[in-house]
Structure 1
Amino acid sequence: MRLKKPVSKRGTTRMREGIKKKAAAHNRKQKKLAKKDPTWRSKKAKDPGIPASFPYKDRIVSEIEDNRRVVAEEKLRRKEEKRKELLAQGANPDDIIDEDDEEAGDAGNGLAALLESAQKAAKEYENDSDEDEDLESEDEEPLEVVDYEIEVSDDETESELDKSRKAYDKIFKSVVEASDVVLYVLDARDPEGTRSKKVEQAVLQSQGKRLILILNKVDLIPTDVLTKWLDFLKSSFPTIPLRAAPGATNSSSFNRNLTQSVTANNLMTSLKSYAAKSNLKRSIVVGVIGYPNVGKSSIINALTSRHGGSSKACPVGNQAGVTTSLREVKVDGKLKILDSPGIIFPAESKKKSKTEQEAQLALLNALPPKQISDPLPAILLLLKRLSKSSEMTESFKKFYELTPIPDSNLNEFAKNFLVHVARKRGRLGKGGIPNLHSAGVSVLNDWRDGKIVGWTLPKSSKETDNEHIVKGAGSGSAPSVEQTTIVSEWSKEFDLDGLFATLNNANDDAMEE
């Protein structure tokens, strides 16, 4: 007799996710129907009682009955004592009414009052039903989230960077084609490093697309640096500062007036204003793009959070590569937001070596720690950036409690610094040898989490940057575009003039403090 091969009962991920979505849709429908049902239901959960199979059920039931009997006897004793006190005071025995008799006498009147209050509540419910439905559709209706997987050809002969760039290129084209408004997220500590002119050229060449620069992580740079970057970037495209996440617990916080709720509400108001003015018979699609780990998913969660709710529409993490697929989040009937994985655009100048490119991406937090082969070049870039300001240098020394280190040259200083970090944090190998690779990754993680205070300043010349964008936009089929006209027209469409005034006032208050 031939035995059958055992069949696995494990289902596919697609089937499990489909079941979850159907169950969530069913629960939403039942919740919506329950709100429209005027039948009164108690908010307290019903006591299921003691299971019949419980071995000590008889003993527990007898104890409950004994407690009830004791309470009843105590109630009768107090009633008799109160009756005797009233008789001792000279009260008429016929006028003394027991509490039980009084409750029984008022039962009819209480039932009538209950019926009257129920009828009144029903009338109020009918009058407010339309308003409640509108509020429910805008504020209480759960978010609709749809994921779109993107298939990319897998060639074993290609390097990992080439594979990722092909995937990112396909994702970027999909987002731009599907979006009406593109939010380009930049890291406030290094906006130029996370900015690509090819993105801006592609959006300008697409008819009817709008591009807004989002300066995220404004709590990690001082107010004067933020003001300089806003003035610099606003000459190219409308720019909005944003704080998408509360920030690291140990980080130095700047621009405290620009809170998460204030900046996210301002951005959402601008998007809804554009949706109302667009006169489209469909909902507008807002695509969110940017380098890995600049906070794209955190921005979407901040935009879609309601009344301080903790629900998250998109998964987030403190390292690159958390978002792996396109995700469409429906906010309401007029607005959809499209989240995308991090995009590493090809470098404009091909003179940099592979080591230099990896160091730059590591400093931009665009690479997961596992993909950093050698953190020393990235540490060198970080030290060069911090050495440009005495404030950054002093904060860096204070954070790591640096003792005087021989600094004959930058390479020796960086190695001695990593040895100090390895010994201080226990990153040691066999024989107590400092693990410089582990120490370097630890320093890069501190930079990623905002524990190291550091920033860059914009270029002194704005005209060269604008001319570069205009020339790139004029090449090909797209006509030449004047940046000042773009900024003024798009700012009116999104009602950004009042928003800029509010943010400028907040920055002035922060500088005074």
Structure 2
Amino acid sequence: MVRVKKRASKRMTLKQRAKIHKKVQEHGRKQRREARRNPQRKSKKADPGIPNLFPYKEELLNEMEERRRIAAEQRMLAKEKRNEEDGDEDEDEEELVPEPAQATPLVRPPAPMLSKPLADVIAPGSEVKGVVYVLDARDPSCFRRTWLETQLRSKKSPKLTLALAKADLVPSEVLTGWVYDLRRAGLAVFPTSVRPGTEPAGVDALAEHLRSVSKGDIAVLGLEHVGKTDLAAALKDAMEGVQVYDTPSLVRSAAPMPDEDTDEELSRMETQAKLLWILMRNQGQVQRFKDPIALVCTLLPRVAHPVDLMMAYGTPAFGSFVPERATLADNLPDKEALREYEQQTDAKAMADTEEFLIGVARSVGRLKRLGVPDTAGAARLLLRDWAHDGLGYYAMPQSKAKAVQANGSSQEKELWADVEQLVHAMEVVRPRKEWRQAWASKEVRLKALEKAPYDEDALVFMPVLEDLEDEDDGEDEEDVQEDDDIEDMENLDEDDEEDLDDEDEEDLDDEDEEDLDDQDEEDLDDQDDKDLEDKEEEPVIPPSKKRTKAPITERARKLSRPTREAPPATRRSTNGSRPAQAPPKRRAPAPGEAYDINAYF
């Protein structure tokens, strides 16, 4: 019979009951205190109404009732009017049919791709008579290439023209200064703005200049992520009767491989140039870089006014770190003094970066356990704003309107007036005041670079996979793929390299598993054939007529095993006089032995 478990009692001690009562009182006290401190709390006191002794109580009540009646009538009229308008809109929608021309966005067909190496395009006597080199208007100093400008200085070489793309992302004063500086250096520069689905701005002036300068085909060159393809498509539509070619992105001809014997200074410069190139290219998920603090440390020394970052992220002033030796000693050699100065500069940049990121982490709430600021998370937040149009950044030009108007010659003033008129003709470019309002005052002004990264290195077109497949130079497919992988890895971030390595390892694992599966199947087939052959060759043994013993089961083996008698256990008798002997343990019967039934009763 199943025994029902007795229900436990709910009674408790007075001490435990008093403890619970005390906790309830404390919790209620805290709740009342928080309610009193809440500025949005509502008073629980009811409206006392109008006192009976008020002399004008009836008039006041009648006025309030009239107000409520008028408000109710207005609500009813507004509801009826809204229903009528909705019915009229439905009828208009049924009658009117949208035109297909208004629904389809403006799509430009891409320009044809030029299938020639860069050396043939810029060589003297080439079929291409004009070259348009595209720069990013936000930072033209980073995208300029002295090597390309030197190669196109010959009279028989194609005419070089610079185009400042993405001109709508910078203020008109800054754009005017950059166009003026480049034109004063003897270069033909034109600002442009080509956005997908909108009318291009500044392309007509560029097309008119190319018609007057070059009598032949036009090739549009540029680095990665500068808007080269969109400009080539817009220029193709603007120049009828002239062939405009788009080209692959320009890359370095041969990147130096790391060497153990290279100078420490050269490796440091190469690292700085790589980080600056990643920031300048500004393509993809920059915030996913493995070391985001290094990218921010490269960016902060370029900021011309740290107040811009302080206002954008609400951080206190940073940059309090002062190097131990602000000036170089006269007794040190030039190389050692320069190396010491560079070490001090790097130390200051790292300290300022750490101080700024701590302020950003505290401002936006990026904190770890125990309130420790998350500097890496703050760095990724800054890089995400940098890469995805969260910050309006641009490099400051050398020339300004006040300086040119005050100290410039008549030719310089005339050149400035022409450039200013050219910029004002572009409606998409706004003055700095309106530009700041559009960017919500998130403005970052940068210092212009004296020398761009990889400025003097030779350039080539980025190889295209289709061209590599079509070519047949006698090389093995593995060698071509290896060269292609090396060139692609130079243009990827460290995160992209890890992704490629992971994919390659997965592919190799899959191939190994397939090979193993095939090998296992072959081995199994061979083993089966071998077993069949052995089975056929094995002689058949005739059964014997001799009787064999039945197999002994496990139960019979246990029963036949002699049992060990336990020593007699002593126990105290009920009266406590002397210990009583325990009853002897019964021996189990052996196999085949009869059970003594009387012994068990």
What range describes the TM-score normalised by the shorter chain of this pair?
A: 0.3 to 0.5
Larger Rg: 2
- TM-score of the superposed pair, with normalisation by structure 2: 0.37
- TM-score of the superposed pair, with normalisation by structure 1: 0.43
